[in-house]
Amino acid sequence: MSGNNSIGSAPSLLDSGEVASKVSAIGLDKRISSQSLVDIMYDGFYLVFLLRNHYFSTEPHKFRQKIYDFLDKFEINARKKGFLSEDIHEAKYAYCALIDETIMTSQEPEFQTLKDAWEMNPLQLDLFGSQIAGNEFFERLDGLREQGEKRLAALEVYHYAMLLGFQGKYRLEAPEKIRYLISRLGDEIEHLRGNKNEFSPFWAIPDQIKHTLTSETPLWVILAVMAVLLTVIFATMWQFTNSFSDNQLSAYDNVIQENKEQAHISIFLP
């Protein structure tokens, strides 16, 4: 592999078309036998991590061809497992949107050659005839959510693409919106699957995105906790202030004392 990172032993998906030896053959067999499109697409998602760590081909044409080869293998394996053509198509779209955004939003100089080539012909334009994934991604996602359980396989891929950093139109908006959508979609997927199992049994989700899988805490719980905390803080401060004032004023108790002898007036009559 020809790359821009100086670590010679870095993992590569770009020379032989396979993930480095760190991924065991047993693990690959498990993913192929999985009922999840996310697991079958593992190699492609792993490529996103390699991209962000600057392990990629310096020749845009070769890099693009490796992605095409991966997508072909993904489709073959997914069809063998009996996934619907519609779900496979949507999974490929979500993945291409993630790759395109990862490349074209990078501000690092190492990406410039690849970025220049990609801006002229992004994957979504080449494979899907569109280059408005920033909006279309979420329009497609809404359509999948409306169809519910029968589109669960594709929903999981869209969810994972967002977990790995796809933001689309939300990149220019408040970040809490995309975080809420990720959390909400995760809850919907758990409901559709009917359990609370881990999103993927074969790999660990990076620490920086684990928090997005947790359920959103109801607002009333947050307000109740805050009210209790404020009450405790106020009571503590009130007690401390009173105690402090008493201690400070006690030092002046003897400064002003009442005269023990009562004043009297003597009047002498002539």
- Structure confidence by residue, pLDDT tens digits, 46-83: 999 888 887 777 788 888 999 999 999 999 999 999 99
The pTM (predicted TM-score) of the whole model is 0.63
Instruction: Tell me if 35 sits within 8 A of 197, measured CB to CB.
Output: no
pLDDT given for residue 174 in this prediction:
73
pLDDT given for residue 13 in this prediction:
47
User: 10 Å Cβ neighbour count for 34?
Assistant: 17
> Tell me: the pLDDT tens digits for 116-146?
889 888 998 888 887 776 789 999 999 999 9
pLDDT greater than 80 at residue 263: no
Annotated domain spans of the chain = 25-216
pLDDT mean across residues, the chain: 75
Burial (CB < 10 A; 0-12, 13-18, 19+), residue 6, is exposed
pLDDT greater than 60 at residue 24: no
pLDDT greater than 60 at residue 194: yes
Question: 36-45, 230-239, 242-251: which has the highest mean pLDDT?
Answer: 36-45
In this prediction, residues 203-217 reach a mean pLDDT of 46
pLDDT given for residue 139 in this prediction:
94
Task: Name the CATH architecture for the domain at 25-216.
Answer: Alpha Horseshoe (1.25)
Alpha helices in the chain (DSSP H): 25-32, 37-40, 42-52, 60-80, 85-104, 112-120, 123-128, 133-147, 152-163, 175-193, 207-210, 219-250
